[in-house]
């Protein structure tokens, strides 16, 4: 494996993280750091465990029966994979956006205000502010500010995806997990989402799963190449894409570029 055991832990990192479905080991003992204000791209062929790995970072796999996790996920010195963790509170710190936009069947406004309201933000003015700032951060405000009461389902696919990003931002997460967030979008929307990711990394750390090598090269600072549940290579994106250590990484990247 490419990295040695770190002496000082990053404030967000995994340590020997393994995920099993029954007896099948989908993710095999992966240790990865995620630095503040960076975008880390997880790449690799389908079924290599990168999405499973991503989902485990906010313990979304808990809900799948028969899945078990070993190892640690450290956030600010606390292992959130330990059994005593309050998973629900944890998830508030870690936002997530999926491949397919999944806005709630509610108005645009309520999509954003729902989370903060639940977590105790009171008063219309405070909520209005959160809605506006979240939508602005997701570069959607100008397009929807006049129809906040409309259904979120009436938005286009690209707008819906940015709404989902705004929704994730509404509860002030420290980490944003993106699972192929642009793969279902048209090129223009994809461009907007990529632009957004670059801006958002100024405020938080982002982990993104993508099949699109150009996208990984464009937006990420670090790249991790997964193969059959193992971490094959991890380094600065520049390095991985121009001069990978591992033959397999090179072949995969070249193949995907070609």
Partner 1 sequence: MKPRTADKVATAVIVTFALLIVAILISLLGYILIRGMNHISWDFLTSAPQKIRAGGGVGPQLFNSLFLLVLTLIITVPLGLGAGIFMAEYARPGKLTNFIRLVVEVLSSFPSIIVGLFGLLLIVNTFNLGFSLISGALALTFFNLPLMVRITEQAFRTVPKQQKEAGFALGLSKWKIVTSVLLPVALPTIITGTILSAGRVFGEAAALMFTAGMSSPRLDFSNWNPLSPSSPLNPFRPAETLAVHIWKVNSEGLAPDALQIAAGASAVLVLTVLIFNLAARYFGRFIYRKLTASKRMN
Partner 2 sequence: MRVKSKNSRLEKHHIENLVGRIYMSFCVLLLVVIIVSMVYFVASKGIANFVNGEVKISEFLLGTKWAPEADTPSYGAFPFISGSFLVTLLAALIASPLSICAALFMTEIVPGWGKKLLQPVIELLSGIPSVVYGFVGLSVIVPFLRDTLPGQGIGVAAGALVLSVMILPTITSVAADALASLPQNLKESSFALGATRWQTISRVILPTTFPAIMTGVVLGMARAFGEALAVQMVIGNAPFIPHSLFESASTLTSVITLGMGNTTMGSPQNNALWSMALVLMLMTFVFVLLVRMLERRNKI
Binding residues vs partner 2 (CB under 8 A): 62, 83-89
CA quadruple 228, 239, 96, 144: dihedral sign: negative
- Strand duo 67-75 + 12-21: pairing: antiparallel
Minimum Å gap between C-beta 80 and partner 2 is 11
Question: What is the Cα gyration radius of the chain?
Answer: 18
Per partner kind, with CB cut-offs from 5 to 8 A, the member of partner 1, partner 2, none near residue 85 is partner 2
Shortest approach of partner 2 to residue 172 CB, angstroms? 17
**Residue 175 binds to partner 1 (criterion: CB under 8 A):** no
Range list of H helices, 182-232? 187-200, 213-219
Our CB check for partner 1 shows the closer of 124 and 149 to be: 149
- 100 belongs to the binding site for partner 1 (CB under 8 A): yes
Closest CA to 30 of 20, 40, 15, 50: 15
| Using rule CB under 8 A, residue 64 touches partner 1 | no
Q: Which is nearer to partner 2, 68 or 102 (CB)?
A: 68
3 state DSSP class of 36: coil
Written as six digits, the tokens of 152 are 């979120």
Binding site for partner 1 (CB under 8 A): 58, 60, 63, 65, 88-96, 98, 100, 102-107, 110, 114-115, 118-119, 149-151, 153-154, 164, 167-168, 170-171
């Amino acid at each position: 494996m490419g990295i040695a055991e770190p002496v000082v832990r990053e404030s967000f990192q995994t340590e020997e993280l393994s995920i099993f479905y029954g007896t099948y080991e989908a993710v095999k003992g992966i240790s990865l750091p995620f630095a503040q204000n960076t975008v880390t791209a997880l790449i690799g062929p389908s079924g290599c465990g990168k999405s499973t790995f991503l989902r485990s970072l906010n313990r979304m796999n808990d809900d799948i029966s028969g899945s078990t996790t070993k190892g640690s996920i450290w956030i600010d010195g606390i292992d959130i994979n330990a059994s005593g963790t309050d998973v629900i509170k944890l998830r508030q710190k870690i936002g997530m956006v999926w491949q397919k936009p999944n806005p709630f069947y509610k108005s645009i406004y309520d999509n954003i205000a729902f989370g903060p309201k639940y977590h105790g933000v009171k008063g219309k003015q405070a909520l209005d502010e959160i809605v506006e700032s979240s939508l602005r951060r997701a570069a959607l405000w100008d397009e929807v500010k006049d129809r906040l009461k409309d259904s979120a389902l009436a938005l286009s696919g690209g707008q819906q995806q940015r709404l989902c990003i705004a929704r994730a931002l509404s509860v002030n997460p420290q980490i944003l997990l993106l699972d192929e967030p642009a793969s279902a979008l048209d090129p223009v929307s994809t461009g907007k989402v990529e632009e957004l990711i670059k801006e958002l990394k100024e405020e938080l750390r982002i982990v993104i799963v993508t099949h699109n090598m150009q996208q990984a090269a464009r937006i990420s600072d670090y790249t991790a190449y997964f193969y059959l549940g193992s971490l094959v290579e991890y380094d600065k994106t520049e390095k991985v894409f121009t001069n990978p250590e591992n033959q397999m990484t090179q072949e995969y990247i070249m193949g995907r570029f070609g």
